[in-house]
Structure 1
Amino acid sequence: MTANFTKITSFFILGFPGLSSQYYGPVSALLFLIYLAIAIGNIFILAFVVYEKYLQKPTYLVFCHLALNDLTFGTVTLPKIISKYWFDDSVVSFYGCFTQMFFVHYLGSVTSFILLVMALDRFIAICIPLRYPVLITNNTVSVLCGFAWFIPLPLMIGIVLHALTLSFCKSNVIAQCYCDHISIRSQACGEDVYIVAVTSVYIAMFTLLAPLAFILFSYISIIVVIIKMSNSAGRKKTLSTCTPQILITCLFYLPRCFVYVAAVVGFSFSLDVRILLILLYSVFPAAVNPGIYCFKTQDIKEFVTLKTAPPSQFGLYAQP
């Protein structure tokens, strides 16, 4: 039997399928505000570090890489879904959808490796503080962050090229707020779909779980060091330098791993809930990272609130 395939030239972004049309305006306005928060917050971080020379040190260089990643991710994903609800423009070209899919998964993988670099920074600063000035320098961080950007690149290119070999025989509706691998793959037919799905999951688990393994090791080691501290004030101060990273790491990893694993084992839940979970682990961290990672540092807080206060020597990542 020969299947009757039609050439798909474009996709339609569905967004939230259960959302009533009367809420399109408020939802688009909310998404626009979220994008503004992402843009303003992360551009501020980049500009502030460039302007304030005393912040051009390893910790803040990592912040800049994270800010650039978050800004790019928000710019790649949010404008189209805002346009869908605001102007009823939900059409994405065929290759435009695959391009968006590449950036969605690539930037998510880069975030995972940048979180690994942040965990390494904290691990050395707290567990072997005497070696910190030698091991963690601007050059070292630049190289590590360069690897964070490079390692996922060939993997994500491979995922996109593999998906392009599929034959699409179903609808051209993307049941998501942006084009991602699961949504595009669900519109394909043939025996190759399973192979593409399994391959993508293995690559996704590598880019997620390999960094996560070291992140867990780092923070467990940090907690052990903190528990052994005799000074309660020192314990509290040291723990406060790691709590934001732990929270944002959980927000990034837990929903993401749940969605990928659920897709493989066949666990079913509401489509609207699935879309909300994906937005939670992708867009929300990009909006709150500036506040969690930077606006609570001593250096930036002094600049914003006091203006004339002398800069702190160490900021958030002061060594205990």
Structure 2
Amino acid sequence: MANESASLYFVIVGFSGLQEKFYPVFGSLMFCVYSISLCANSLVIGLVLWKKQLHQPMYIIIANLAMSDLLFDTTTLPKIMSKYWFGTDSISFSACFLQMAFVHTLNCLDSLTLLLMAFDRYVAICKPLRYHAIISSRTAIFLCLAAWFAAASVGTFVMTWALPLPYCGPNRVKSFFCFLAPVAVLSCVDSSPIRKNGLYAGLIMHMGPFSLIVVSYIIVITSICALSRLDNWQKALNTCITHWFVITIFYIPRIVDYGYHAQVLPNPDITALMICIYSYVPHISSPIIFCLRNKEIKKSLESFSKLGISRRRFKPR
């Protein structure tokens, strides 16, 4: 069916219950979130590229996650800040669907990257003698590129579900950005089958990797408990704790959101709040957790800071 959109733009609603006097405050909060994400994720990517000792599979995967999070925030947050600071809440028809493709692609990429991270830890702990034979830096890069290709395919495919629908009625997107469910519901025809397919696709792309991650870490924990020496037990456990933090803050809010949407009439403002939590909290938390808890990244960060201080100290006048 040809697209019969009566308008050439959509309106981003965000928090419908938020009073206008609080718009600048919320816009400033989103600016802080974006600034932290931009600095923290860029720092992680820069450190992995700069330090040769970080040219290892685990850090390549971490940098891939940081790149995905940075792109997601750059795709969505400037528009949110523009809405609450300047009142420009409209987004063109083409820009909305382009944003939709990026949102679904990068969400899927995060999930696949966390799966790669769990696979790396599984091999490192359960098959330590064969680790370098199974996972090399080239293999990690190839797996990351494969994850990008798979995620882009999913994001493009999901976007093409909503694009052909006729949009000739309401144009208010009850979310902070364009993705399948709040856009498809604005169609002039019944879009419930497409929205259900989108929900099933989300469950597969998130709960599928999450299930494999849980299974892999059950095996890892069993292997850790089987270690005879206490120092080996502690060292192996410490390498996993950081990943558990990141996996928890990424998946748990999404599981809660899926359960909440099982209700007949979910509150749109609560839905928007959940979207904010599971979209942006992991993006600012993950790089901070990696920098604080990962010894190699922490050492590289300290050496980078010392290098900057020494350059300022000995700068010729």
TM-score clears 0.5: yes
Relative distance call for 1:194 and 1:32 in structure 2 (3 A) is same
Question: Which digits, 9 at most, give the CA deviation of each residue in 1:139-179, with x for residues without a partner?
Answer: 11111111111112222212111211212243111111111
The farther-off stretch of 254-263 and 72-81 is 254-263
Q: What does residue 239 of structure 1 align with?
A: 237
Aligned residue in 2 for 1:176? 175
Q: Which amino acid aligns with 1:287?
A: I
Classify 1:189/1:39 alpha carbon distance in 2 versus 1 (closer, same or farther; 3 Å): same
Given that 1:97 and 1:179 are in contact with CA atoms closer than 8 Å, whether structure 2 keeps it comes out as yes
Partner of 1:288: 285
Structure 1 equivalent of residue 33 of structure 2: 34
Normalising to structure 1: TM-score of the pair? 0.89
Give 5+ residue unaligned stretches, structure 2: 307-317
**Divergent runs of 4+, >3 A:** 230-234, 260-263, 265-269, 303-309
2:274 aligned residue? 277
Identity %: 33
Does structure 1 residue 304 correspond to structure 2 residue 301?
A: yes
8 Å CA contact 1:262, 1:268 repeated in 2: no
Q: 1:294 to 1:62 in 2, by over 3 A?
A: farther
Q: Distance in 2 between matches of 1:213 and 1:179?
A: 27
In the other structure, the counterpart of 1:80 is 79
Distance 1:162 1:231, change over 3 A: same
Question: SS in structure 2 opposite 1:176?
Answer: coil
Equivalent residues in 2 for 1:212-223, closer than 5 Å: 212-223=210-221
Once residues 306 and 164 of structure 1 are traced to their aligned partners in structure 2, the CA distance between those partners, rounded to angstroms, is 49
What's the CA shift string for 1:204-244, capped at 9, x where partnerless? 22211221222111111111112223334433332222122
- Maintained 8 Å contact 1:152/1:207: no
Match of 1:210 among 208, 221, 237: 208
Partner of 1:318: none
Secondary structure of the residue aligned to 1:18 is coil
With 131-140 and 193-202 compared, the bigger mean Cα shift is at 193-202
Q: Relative to 1, partners in 2 of residues 1:307 and 1:155: Cα closer, same or farther, differing over 3 Å?
A: closer
Deviation at 1:260, TM superposition (A): 4.0
How many residues get paired? 303
C-alpha distance in structure 1 between counterparts of 2:65 and 2:176, whole Å: 23
Instruction: Look up the match of 2:20.
Output: 21
Quote the offset at 1:306 in angstroms: 6.0
Instruction: Write the distance in 1 (CA, Å) between the matches of 2:126 and 2:236.
Output: 11
Tell me which of 240, 245, 248 is aligned to 2:246.
248
Q: Which runs of 5+ in 1 are unaligned?
A: 310-320
* Whole-angstrom distance in 1 between the partners of 2:286 and 2:36: 10
Q: CA RMSD in A?
A: 1.9
Contact map agreement 2:51 2:300 (CA 8 A) in 1: no
- The alignment partner of 1:182 has SS state of helix
Stretch of structure 1 that moved more, 296-305 or 26-35:
296-305
